[in-house]
Structure 1
Amino acid sequence: MNLKLQKSRISNFEFQIQITGSKSETNRLLLLQALYPNISLENTSNSDDSEVMVEALLKSKIKNQKSLIIDVHHAGTAMRFLTAFFAIQEGKEVVLTGSSRMKERPIKILVEALKQLGAEITYEENEGFPPIKIQGKKLTKSKVSLPANVSSQYISALLLIAPKLENGLELILEGEITSIPYIKMTLALLNEIGATTSFVENKIIVKPLQSAICNLQSVESDWSSASYWYSIVALSEIGTQITLSSYKQNSLQGDSVLSKIYKDFGVETIFNKNKSITILKSAICNLQSLICNLNNSPDIAQTIAVTCFGLGIGCNLTGLHTLKIKETDRLEALKTELSKLGANISVTDDSLIIQQSNTLNSNIAIATYQDHRMAMAFAPLALKTSLIIQDAEVVSKSYPTFWDDLKSIGFQLEEV
């Protein structure tokens, strides 16, 4: 499905949007719930990725079925977390596979780390990539090390199963650590269910936990999904405000840094007593160029880059090395699509630079590369020009109601 977004206008209006739970928190808590069934969850994500996690974990409960084939499609988080989960399911044989793009996304670092703990995992096709076959077994080793600059999902996958390991886990991270907020999110959720953890310098320790505290975990709404609304407000006229629910001022999500970054674009964040946030365009953006290190929150890089381009300002974004192994090579994808719109953009393996310019071409078709964030990051540009979003249904991966929510505030969309 391709969507034509006509140039739209919203200003001086107040809107309310309900954002479902964080995909990152939901998928971590779903795995913990599978390990400790007395955990209850509410406000979970309605994303495709979380649905994949739910279905896979339900299959794991089927009795007298020792061999499973589980297809995670495009869900990278599910691939990483489930690899660790099934490695400790004694007596289960599981083949984890996915889309053609998933088969190009590396898994070797996680597999090797699990093998250090005694896991039995083999590759079905290409060395270092899915699909993989996992023979679940009891893991008694407790010490493992891996490079610190890899995707935090590898690290979180190990931490999530750590309390169920007989001797817990001592994890050494070698080098400079990437995406620390996501690691801290995982540890905080472990603490909330009763696990004892420590994170000092480059060493993380998780103690064994026999049974979890029986409590209700309410998932905070997704800050990554909020980023598109920040972009919309930033590209709108002064006075525009949108209220989103439900968010915490002391969020575990690294992408909550949005509230600080978007101040530079004239966007104010108000934390309300009912746990909603109101994002308000309160001033004109006077920046010439934004310089920002997104090492701890790379998932919002696409949104920020498009916001800068839409405002006619430059940007220099760094700390983006993990974007090359996402749903697509996001740096090259941004370069290609923003160039179509008239941007003077250059990328390296871990950075992106856009030169200040007022050029903005119309009626350009934006390819999305099976990447939900490409579709949603470019959509706010409809406030500045008409454009086409190709394969627009890809947003269901993390935010299924995105297009309906845009319509509700006045965006003009039609299938083409």
Structure 2
Amino acid sequence: MDIKLNLNTSVHSTAIKITGSKSETNRLLLLQALYPGITINNISESDDSTVMQQALAGSEAIVDIHHAGTAMRFLTAYFALQEGKEVVLTGSQRMKERPIAVLVDALRSLGAQIEYTENEGYPPIKITGKKLTQSKVAMKANVSSQYITALLLVAGRLENGLELTLEGELTSIPYINMTLSLLKEVGIATTFKGNVITVKPATNNQQPATITVESDWSSASYFYSIVALADVGTAIVLSSYKQNSLQGDSALSEIYAEMGVETTFKNNSIVLKKLNHQLSALSFELNNTPDIAQTIAVTCFGLGIGCYLTGLHTLKIKETDRLEALKTELSKFGAKISVTDDSLALEAGFNPPASPVAVATYNDHRMAMAFAPLAIKTPVIINDAGVVSKSYPTFWHDMQALGFVVNEL
């Protein structure tokens, strides 16, 4: 499904309820499978979380997680310690191109039995569940935090717990802290000192816990972008959010303040309001929040200001190579942009194209949603718009509620 998106008048000031965080939900679903006393409220409606639920509830010998990166990493660790169970974990063609050797090597060092069935270092993988007897492992610190989280989530079920040493400079620390906080909520003791994380073995007397998933901050980023690009005075209310959020992407409130968006916390919601603000070129280090890089780059382009974004090395192995994809698609609008393996530089300037530009989405939900706010400035065509279901199935409906005209082509 391709759609044409434009805004006839101005953005409506309205309230939007955003589904639960995919990151929190998938962590909790795995913990619930390990510790059945957990009840989860406000579960994410995303494809990734649906796939995760199906994989944990099913008994199939082949588990296909499609494009779901968190499911691939978390389930690799989960199935590795399901004694007597044999599973082949596979996914989409792009998933088969996303490396998993770092996690597999770490699990093997703990005693796991995992084989590659096609290409060495990449899914699909055949996992034969067994008791894991080792308790110490080292891993490079600058890899995807999902590898680290996968080990931490299952660590309480290891006989002697886990001592994980992270080698080198730490990245994506908020995502690691989110995992450790959720472990604490379900009664698993942890410590994080220097570059060493210790998880104590579960005592098997975890108390029943009811946990409400906070709404997804990554999904909020698109509304920050809309407000930044909209008229002064535009306001949008988003629920449900906490001021002391576990999610790294809550840094949006500080980042977008530099683009004229005020964030006010009120009754478990946030109010985003466009203020009169003097704009200038921006520079952000996004080591801890790489998932919002696409949104920030597109917002800056729409505002006509330059930006320099760094700490983006993990974007090369996402649903697509997000840096190259951004360069290609923004260039269609006339952007002057350059990228390296971990950075993006955008020159100031924006002249609306004479005719609608078609944005390719590369099976990447964030490409579709990051470019959508540009429709405030110029009509945009989003190819394969249904890809948003990976994390935010009601996104186009919510865009209509804000006054955007969404026409299927």
Kindly tell me: are residues 231 and 8 of structure 1, through their superposed partners in 2, closer, same or farther at Cα, counting changes over 3 Å? Answer: farther
SS at match of 2:180: helix
Kindly tell me: are residues 125 and 169 of structure 1, through their superposed partners in 2, closer, same or farther at Cα, counting changes over 3 Å? Answer: same
Give, in whole Å, the separation in 1 of the partners of 2:350 and 2:28. Answer: 44
Alignment of 1:310-321 (within 5 A): 310-321=302-313
The TM-score, its normalising length taken from structure 2, stands at 0.98
SS at match of 2:398: helix
Percent identical across equivalent pairs?
68
Q: Which amino acid aligns with 1:333?
A: A
Give, in whole Å, the separation in 2 of the partners of 1:40 and 1:271. Answer: 27
Residue 248 (structure 1) aligns with: 242
- In the TM superposition, what whole-angstrom CA distance separates every residue of 1:99-141 from its partner, at most 9, and x where no partner exists? 0000000000000000010000000000000000000001110
- Asked whether the 8 Å contact 1:199–1:205 carries over to 2, the reply is yes
- In the TM superposition, what whole-angstrom CA distance separates every residue of 1:261-318 from its partner, at most 9, and x where no partner exists? 000011000100x20111111223x222110000000000000000000000000000
Give, in whole Å, the separation in 2 of the partners of 1:221 and 1:296. Answer: 19
Alignment of 1:129-168 (within 5 A): 129-168=122-161
Give, in whole Å, the separation in 2 of the partners of 1:258 and 1:192. Answer: 25
- 1:84 counterpart = 2:97: no
Residue 34 (structure 2) aligns with: 35
Residue 198 (structure 1) aligns with: 191
Q: Tell me by how many angstroms 1:359 deviates.
A: 2.4
Residue 262 (structure 2) aligns with: 268
Identify which of 395, 403, 406 aligns with 2:396: 403
Residue 237 (structure 1) aligns with: 231
Alignment of 1:10-409 (within 5 A): 10-11=10-11, 13-59=12-58, 62=59, 68-209=61-202, 210-272=204-266, 274-284=267-277, 286-361=278-353, 362-409=355-402
Give, in whole Å, the separation in 2 of the partners of 1:359 and 1:110. Answer: 45
- In the TM superposition, what whole-angstrom CA distance separates every residue of 1:160-217 from its partner, at most 9, and x where no partner exists? 0001111000000000011000000000000011111001110000001123221100
User: Aligned residue pairs: how many?
Assistant: 407
Q: Which amino acid aligns with 1:325?
A: I
Gaps of 5+ in 1: none
**Which is further off, 37-46 or 353-362?**
353-362
- In the TM superposition, what whole-angstrom CA distance separates every residue of 1:48-102 from its partner, at most 9, and x where no partner exists? 000000000001xx4xxxx610000000000000000000100000000000000
Give, in whole Å, the separation in 1 of the partners of 2:10 and 2:206. Answer: 47
- Asked whether the 8 Å contact 1:288–1:356 carries over to 2, the reply is no
- Asked whether the 8 Å contact 2:7–2:403 carries over to 1, the reply is no
- Asked whether the 8 Å contact 1:39–1:212 carries over to 2, the reply is no
Give, in whole Å, the separation in 2 of the partners of 1:310 and 1:363. Answer: 14
Please provide the CA RMSD for this pair: 0.9
- Asked whether the 8 Å contact 2:80–2:130 carries over to 1, the reply is yes
Give, in whole Å, the separation in 1 of the partners of 2:124 and 2:88. Answer: 7
The TM-score, its normalising length taken from structure 1, stands at 0.97
Q: Tell me by how many angstroms 1:366 deviates.
A: 0.2
Give, in whole Å, the separation in 1 of the partners of 2:240 and 2:276. Answer: 25
Residue 9 (structure 1) aligns with: 9
Greater than 3 Å deviation, 4+ residue runs = none
